[in-house]
C-alpha cells in the first residue's frame, strides 16, 4: 500500500511540474511571436523585475521604465502631476 501511495504522489508531482513547464513554454512562444520579437521579450523580462512595493514618488524610482510600470500598475502613485500619462518628466522621462 505504501508503494502505491509513493508512486501516485510521484506521478502527481511529475504532472504538476510538466504542466508548469508547458505553461512557461506557451507564454514564451506567445511573446516571441509578437511583431517586435526580441524587444518585446526584453521589455517583458524587465517588467517581471518590477513589483508594487509601496513606492509612490519619482525620487524612489531608478528609471523611466520603472516609473512607467509603477504608474500603470500600482495604486496611489504620485508621479504624474499633469495627468498626461508620463511619469517623472523632470527626473526620468524627459
Is there a single domain that holds both residue 36 and residue 7? Answer: yes
Once rounded to an integer, what is the mean pLDDT over residues 11-25?
A: 79
Is there a single domain that holds both residue 40 and residue 61? Answer: no
- Grid cell for residue 31: 511573446
Share of the chain above pLDDT 70, in %: 73
Is there a single domain that holds both residue 34 and residue 4? Answer: yes
Is there a single domain that holds both residue 27 and residue 60? Answer: no
Per the structure, the complete domain to which residue 28 belongs is given by 1-45
Is there a single domain that holds both residue 13 and residue 37? Answer: yes
Once rounded to an integer, what is the mean pLDDT over residues 4-25?
A: 83
Give the number of residues written for the chain: 94
Tens of pLDDT, residue by residue over 24-59, are 666 666 656 654 444 544 554 455 578 899 999 999
Tens of pLDDT, residue by residue over 59-84, are 999 989 899 999 999 999 999 989 99
Give every CB contact of residue 90 below 8 A, 6+ residues apart in sequence: 58
C-alpha dist (Å) from residue 24 to 20, 63, 68: 6, 28, 26
Is there a single domain that holds both residue 67 and residue 91? Answer: yes
- In sequence order, what DSSP letters do the residues of the chain get, joined into one string? -HHHHHHHHHHHHHHHHHHHHHHHHHHHHHHHTSTTTHHHHHHHHHHHH----S--SGGG-SSHHHHHHHHHHSTT----TT-SS---TTTT--
Is there a single domain that holds both residue 38 and residue 56? Answer: no
**Could you give the number of structural domains in the chain?**
2
Is there a single domain that holds both residue 34 and residue 56? Answer: no
Is there a single domain that holds both residue 85 and residue 70? Answer: yes
Is there a single domain that holds both residue 87 and residue 59? Answer: yes
**For the whole model, what pTM was predicted?**
0.49
According to the model, what pLDDT value does residue 49 have?
A: 76
Amino acid at each position: 500500500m505504501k508503494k502505491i501511495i509513493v508512486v501516485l504522489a510521484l506521478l502527481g508531482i511529475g504532472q504538476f511540474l510538466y504542466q508548469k513547464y508547458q505553461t512557461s513554454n506557451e507564454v514564451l512562444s506567445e511573446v516571441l511571436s509578437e511583431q517586435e520579437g526580441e524587444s518585446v521579450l526584453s521589455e517583458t523580462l524587465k517588467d517581471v523585475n518590477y513589483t508594487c512595493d509601496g513606492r509612490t514618488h519619482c525620487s524612489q524610482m531608478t528609471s523611466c521604465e520603472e516609473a512607467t510600470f509603477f504608474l500603470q500598475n500600482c495604486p496611489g502613485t504620485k508621479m504624474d502631476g499633469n495627468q498626461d500619462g508620463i511619469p517623472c518628466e523632470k527626473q526620468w522621462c524627459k
